[in-house]
Structure 1
Amino acid sequence: MRSVSVIKRAVQWGWMAWERVFEVFSRLRSKYAGEYGICKMFVTKYHGKCMLCEDGTWIHDGDWIGELHLDNRKILALLQSHEENRVALMIARLTRGAMRQICAEMEKNPQLSQVKALQGVTLLHRGITHGLGFETYQMENRTFRALTTSYLRLLLAVFHPSNRRRVVPHAEKLVPMRLVMTRSALIRRFSGEKSAV
């Protein structure tokens, strides 16, 4: 059991090293980068088909968007110090707090004045979207969707307390979805709310 634990920690350490490299790359290609609690946001240009959101906002190729990424280091710390069921609730609460912080920043920071929407890709869309106001879309590019699915399932297996014993039986349900929230929807839902501490 000890050897398994050592291997698990080694894999997690290696993954976090890769995460640091990815973060440096993301910052270099971004117009703006910020950390908001459990979320990181990188402002980049949208590349893809024109998208009509539920509130009537059009997102066109070349528009500025905020890419959202969960901070896996903080999630790992939560998994190591709390029970699994409690961690899910904590992540949902922390994500809501992060959205409040991002909203406040979007309203006051001139660097973010051209950001039309927020976007993220996750397997955990059922838990994260509930009550937060994100629109969900399937990923259209099949190759990118397959690669993203494999990557995120492996990530979940690495960080999930029970690893593959819990992830594999439900793998067919773990399909990545693109989450989108327009600037207007963000401000309408979170403006004026107190940011989580």
Structure 2
Amino acid sequence: MQTLLLWMFYISTFYAFIPALVSRIFGFRVFRRGKSDQEYALTFDDGPDPVYTPQLLDLLKRFDAKATFFVVGMNAEKHPELLKRMHDEGHLIGIHNYVHKSNWLMRPVTVRRQITQTESVIRRVTGEGTTFYRPPWGIVNFFDISKNNGRRIVLWSSMFGDWKASIGAKQLAERMLKKLRGGEVMLLHDCGTTLGADAEAPQNMLIALEKLLRVAQKQQLRSVRVDTLFCRQSGNQSTVSSLSSTDWIKRTMVFGWLQYERLFHALFRLRPVSKDNTIFYYRRRIYHGPNINMENGRWLEKGDPIIELHFDNKMLFQLGTTAKSLVHLAIQLIRVVKRQLPDLTQRVVHDSGMKGVKAIYAVSMIHRGPEKLGFQIQELPQGLFKHVATVYLKLLFRIIHPSGSEQLSEKKEVMVPKLIVMPIDTLFERFQPGDSHRSDQVFEPIDQRNVVHTLNSEMTEEGEPMHTSIRASQTSDTGSSS
């Protein structure tokens, strides 16, 4: 049962939760808001509707306002004359799937089919395709943001609940006017036949929209298509405010990610190696990955008990923000890991639940660093897990490392996760305090000059020494279960 819950958590996390988090909160690979002082975007979902869409087009024409329509393919196929009119009157047409169904509930191939089918309808009627896409309810899945295939995913910066008739035109207009400003991407609906909507709700939207357009006209604000707003750059934002905004977003991203990590630790009962400033969390698991030849003829095989390590991303973020360079970061990381491996050894020795474990195991972005501590490095087998872990780690690296985006761009060919494994008796020999058989070199102080030389050599050979010890095993267990 725990294994089933674990896999359900992983699947929902990577297919749904993380993509929703990074797109809706952090704007990763989506367009949510433009940079303009005098232009904003009106966007309409779920149509075209034979009753309300013609009225909406008439209203927009009166005020010379341009808008973006994210059409449901099935509705567009039923009303090609409305689709043609949108195009002829200069509005942008985007895709809202062929049927109004959440991407969380469909396989990637089904989502692609929905998009392709809707674009075919648009192209057949207007003679032009489209690259703009808004998933129903703004819900993206893992494949939407990992492989957009040239699509530009458009969300919004403000929505008003206009799909409910109970709000009323007056209250709806008040909500809309509060958000009337340059750069805003407003979400509205010209059809009330989708799940959760009221059929007569668009009538209130039309009344409220007319009031908004009048006020916008007085304030010299202009409604433009999303593609127009997408290309605008505001010249009124100072460099200082831009940097402050970036810093705030970065801190928000880190906070959200660490909250998610706390939830994961609580759900699956991961234990810290040290009470204060731990670099490791651990738990006992049953190994279900490929057989691994560890050393001296010893094999890690399917069914063997292991200790699964998870690196603490809060400490990694703290190390990243204080490091003067990647080499400096690597030196700090080596010191912390080396200092806490004896603590892990003591935990294993005194924890009766860890008896019989054959190895310690993790998935990491470390390349050669762990080998100096007794770990062995193994390639991850090709497959879905390797792809998911790679995308996850790259995203995490962008968040926790100050120059993560730049490093990923420059060294993307070596930013791949690998298995790191250490036989349990090697851990005891090297790191158990008071063990006369351990290597004394393990506990010698680190010579920074030697470390720098080693890391620089590795940087030359591989393009990246030791980016950071980013935990990936929480993305999946490569088949591990308990």
Residues 4 and 180 from structure 1, CA distance in 2 versus in 1: closer, same or farther, beyond 3 angstroms?
same
Alignment match, 2:402: 161
Structure 2: runs of 5 or more not aligned: 1-242, 435-442, 444-482
- CA shift digits 1:158-191 (9 cap, x unpaired): 1111231222110111111000001111112222
Alignment match, 1:35: 273
Residues 54 and 10 from structure 1, CA distance in 2 versus in 1: closer, same or farther, beyond 3 angstroms?
same
Task: Give the drift of 1:105.
Answer: 2.4
Task: Give the drift of 1:56.
Answer: 2.7
Distance 2:324 2:260 in 1: 26
Distance 1:158 1:114 in 2: 37
Query: For this pair of structures, how many residues does the alignment match?
Result: 190
Alignment match, 2:157: none
Check whether the contact 1:153–1:171 (CA below 8 A) recurs between aligned residues: no
Superposed CA RMSD: 2.1
Alignment match, 2:373: 132
Residues 8 and 187 from structure 1, CA distance in 2 versus in 1: closer, same or farther, beyond 3 angstroms?
same
Q: Which moved more, 1:65-74 or 1:45-54?
A: 45-54
Distance 1:179 1:122 in 2: 7
**More helix by percentage:** 1
Is 1:81 paired with 2:313? Answer: no
Check whether the contact 1:55–1:185 (CA below 8 A) recurs between aligned residues: no
What is the TM-score of this pair, normalised by structure 2? 0.37
* SS at 2:358 equivalent: strand
Which one has more relative contact order, counting CA pairs under 8 Å at least 6 apart?
1
Name the aligned partner's letter for residue 96 of structure 1: K
Percent same amino acid at aligned positions? 29
Check whether the contact 1:64–1:116 (CA below 8 A) recurs between aligned residues: yes
* SS at 1:171 equivalent: coil
Is 1:60 paired with 2:301? Answer: yes
Alignment match, 1:109: 351
Residues 176 and 182 from structure 1, CA distance in 2 versus in 1: closer, same or farther, beyond 3 angstroms?
same
Distance 1:14 1:172 in 2: 28
**More strand by percentage:** 1
What is the TM-score of this pair, normalised by structure 1? 0.87
* SS at 1:187 equivalent: helix
Structure 1: runs of 5 or more not aligned: none
1:146-157 mapped onto 2 (5 Å cutoff): 146-157=387-398
Task: Give the drift of 1:63.
Answer: 1.8
Distance 1:180 1:130 in 2: 10
Name the aligned partner's letter for residue 22 of structure 1: F
